[in-house]
Amino acid sequence: MSVEEIRRLIEEMNLRVPKDYQKMDVEQLSRELREAMQFEQTTFQRIDDLEKNGVEQDLANYAKMICKNTAGREISEIQEIYFKKLDYEYLNSN
């Protein structure tokens, strides 16, 4: 049962659809960043709960690695664009 839950979590992480962050304004990017960070935190919590319920350690570590890489990549992409837009819109830099 726990193995199936980990599999679903991994699938959920892999199915996150990338968005066109370049077309978003600063407020939208801020919201997207918050949502991506919340998704990462929630997913890690779900994995930790499964670990406490006896899921194999290797499987839990694999799921954590995927979560860290997937969410980290998304968060980094949003942050990069967010900071560039903040710089451009509020500091008038090019």
Per-run averaged pLDDT (10 residues), the chain, 94 residues: 84 90 95 96 94 90 94 96 90 66
Decide if 16 is inside a domain: no
Decide if 26 is inside a domain: yes
Count of domains for the chain:
1
pTM score = 0.85
Domain of 73 in residue numbering reads as 2-11+22-91
Give the per-residue pLDDT at 94: 54
Give the per-residue pLDDT at 3: 83
Decide if 27 is inside a domain: yes
Give the per-residue pLDDT at 93: 57
Is 59 exposed, middle or buried (CB count within 10 Å of its CB: 0-12, 13-18, 19+)?
middle
The one-letter amino acid code at 79 reads Q
pLDDT digit string, tens, across residues 62-81: 999 999 999 999 999 999 99
